[in-house]
Each structure stands twice: as structure tokens, then as C-alpha cells.
Chain A
Amino acid sequence: MTLSSTATADRIYATGLRNQWHPVVPSRFVAPGAMRKVTALGEQWLLFRRSDGTLSMLADRCPHRGAPLSLGRHLGDRVACWYHGVEVGTDGTVTSVPGLPGCNLEGKKLVTSLPVREVGGAVLAWFGDEEHPEPAELTLPDPLTDPAVDAFLCYAEWEVPWRYAVENLLDPMHGAFLHHESHTMFAGDTTAKFRIRETDRGYFFEKTDQRGVNFDWVELCRTGVDWVDLSIPYPPSAGPGGPFGIVGMVCPVDEQRSGVFFWRYRRVEDWQRASWRFLYKTLIEERHWEVLEQDRVMLEAMPADADQRENLYQHDLGVVRLRRLYRAEAEAQSSAGA
């Protein structure tokens, strides 16, 4: 069950853009020698890890009669369907039909297998449609590859359409209100003027009159995977190293649900790095979590047709731009298959 290139634009917009990389779940969700069923872009998948750590991702659908492979058995380098025992290798090839040896299913690649990469503790997969099985180039977020930067991944599952989760990140002004009672975003003006600044990988949406006080800017980056970069000041109690940054990504799980990935990062080295990590694990992570819960509570309470009946103003330009971009891409992806 590969992603269909004939899906409508509405379906693509609702379940996630194809032909790009998306995060799926944290790497630690699939131990060596284990499998895990996941939903992404409205489809069921199976993550399968060999004992040597090699990860693969298969459509969770037996090529015989469609039973979920995730109910089957991990055989080291292949999975055996529980229903009639058909065995599928990690590249999607049927390796054995135990009930009928020599059956012509054997040796055929009948199960979709998505290219995967593991980045900063998360599984990323290439969700190509039927016409684009080969992955496009992936440029990783620079804060996750810079050795002078240290990051912790925080992952959470929200009952929220993926677009709302991304739109929330392109809406810095909510920081001064929704997060006013927080350890990091209590300061800053409640009025602001914003502008959009184009970059070669996306755009900045930023305040023109304040920087480094609250959640004052965000950059949308489209580098094979969609991610945002932003920065939020820490109080002096968090020690040296300046503000902390967030690399954010969203997994479109299905029409209603999202997996959100936030790498909280800081430019710190040596004892400063170690003391930040110690404080983060002991005290700060929990405070960050409370802030994230404010977002979840608000977004989960938004009506399903929230984006159909709005009255937007200047602070929403970043969101408007995002929607236009995603909508156009969904249209293009649907007509590409027509």
C-alpha cells in the first residue's frame, strides 16, 4: 500500500504532503530486534529493526491477503505474517511462502518499503508516491549537525491536524499570551509588527521591533524535510550559553493526529554544556513540558473547521503564507498523478 499519486488535493492536504521526508517516531521506540506499528500520512506502517540496529520501514500489509504484518513475528531479517506465515524481507520482497513452497509470490517485491534515516534520535522516512519512490536530497537542520550545539529531543502525540501544529510554530505572537505564565516567555511586548523575509530554503517570519525577548522570530526551512528553527531566551538561572533554540518538525499521523518533534538545543560546550544538560534533566525539561502542554490544550480544543471561519490580521501573515505554500503543493501533487 504505497501512497497513491491519484489522491485528491484535499486528501493530501489533510494527511500530509508526499514526496518529502517526514519524521515518524523517536528512534528509541524501536529497540534492536523489535518491530513497531506506526501510522503516518494516514497509512499503517511497520518499523522493523534488526539486532544490528539496521532499521527498515514497510507498509503494514501482508502481500498475501492484507493482514497486518505488525501482528506477525520478527525473524531477524524478515517478518512472518501471523495469518498464513508468508515471510517478507526488510526490502519488501516475499522471501518465503511456507504453505506453498515455490509459489510465484516468492522473490517478488510486493510490499512498499520506505527509505529511512535516523537523525538526532528520530526516524525520518521518505514518503514518495507511486511516481516518486526514490528519495530526494535531505539537508539536515544545521543545529542538529553542528558539534558546538547540544540538543535534547522532546516528542509528543497530539490530537491535532498536522497543519495546525505547524501553523502554531509560524505564529510567534502566541508566545506573549498563551505562554505568558511560563519560565521563558513571560517578557516581551503584546503588540508587534511582523515581516516576512525570504531565504533560499524558506522564509523568516519575524518581529520588526523586538528580538531576543520572547518568541520573536521563526524560520520555516524546507530542505527535503520541513522544519522550523526558532529561539527563545532563557532566564539567567539557566546559566551560560544564551537562549535555547528549537528545531521543530511535525509528523502527519492522519487527518486528526500529529506527532510533534522538538529538539531543544543550546550553543554550549565543556562544563557549560554539562551543567545545562544536568539542569535540563533535573528541572528545566519539566518546565518546557508545561509550556508545550499549553500549546496542546489550545490546539486540541480548536474546532475542526477553525481554518474555514477566521478573521486574520497582520500577525497571521506567516500562517497565511504557510497555507498557501502547502495548499499549492497539495494541488500540484494531486494533479501530477492525474
Chain B
Amino acid sequence: MTDTWPYLDVHQSRTHEPTPYEYRLAATLEQVFAQEGHELADVVRGLNARAVHTADGTPWTEESFRAEMNRLGD
């Protein structure tokens, strides 16, 4: 924690620099929200259609997406 004035820190909510996987997932998620809709089913379908899969390479399900968001959004 710096004591010097002024404190101007772009990132105050992060606990770590996002991984390439996280950046890619976030960018695709924005695209999906913009193009497919805001329902959970839209999101899961949109991510899978773009072949942006879970960290272990399997297609998303509503359950796995929910769990991953809870992990990453915390």
C-alpha cells in the first residue's frame, strides 16, 4: 500500500491479473451478451457456438457456467 499522493490506481477490484483464459472468456461473454441476449440459456449457447469452452475444454452447461462465474466473480 503506497503512502504517496496521489493514489490513482486503475485496478482496485482485482485480486490477480486475469489469465489469457479469463480475458478470452470475458471478451466473448461481452460479445454474447450483445449479440445473443441476456438469458442464461443464450449465454451458454453463445459461448459454445463460439467454441470458447471451460478451462478443461468441455462445452459449457448452465451449471458449469454458473459455477465458473461464481468462482471468477467473487
**Residues of A participating in the B interface, judged by any CB pair closer than 8 Å:** 28-29, 31, 36-37, 152-159, 235-240, 257, 270-271, 273-283, 285-286, 289, 296
**A279 touching B66 in the complex, CB below 8 Å, given contacts A31-B1, A154-B12, A240-B38:** no
Q: Are B38 and A239 in contact (CB under 8 A)?
A: yes
Chain A residues within 8 Å of B57, by CB: none
Chain B interface bracket (under 10, 10 to 19, 20 to 34, 35 or more): 20 to 34
Q: Are B74 and A36 in contact (CB under 8 A)?
A: no
B50 at the interface (CB under 8 A from A): no
Chain A contact residues, majority secondary structure:
helix
Could you tell me the distance between the alpha carbons of A283 and B30 in the complex, rounded to whole angstroms? 10
Chain A residues within 8 Å of B1, by CB: 28-29, 31
Q: Are B34 and A278 in contact (CB under 8 A)?
A: no
Q: Are A274 and B69 in contact (CB under 8 A)?
A: yes
Q: Give the residue of A31, A159, A237 whose beta carbon is less than 8 angstroms from that of B34.
A: A237
Q: Are B33 and A237 in contact (CB under 8 A)?
A: yes
Could you tell me the distance between the alpha carbons of A231 and B14 in the complex, rounded to whole angstroms? 23
Q: Give the residue of A155, A158, A276 whose beta carbon is less than 8 angstroms from that of B73.
A: A276
Chain B residues within 8 Å of A278, by CB: 22, 25-26, 29, 69, 72-73
Could you tell me the distance between the alpha carbons of A159 and B8 in the complex, rounded to whole angstroms? 11
Who on chain A is nearest to B19 by CB? A282
**A158 touching B6 in the complex, CB below 8 Å, given contacts A29-B1, A285-B11:** yes
Who on chain A is nearest to B71 by CB? A274
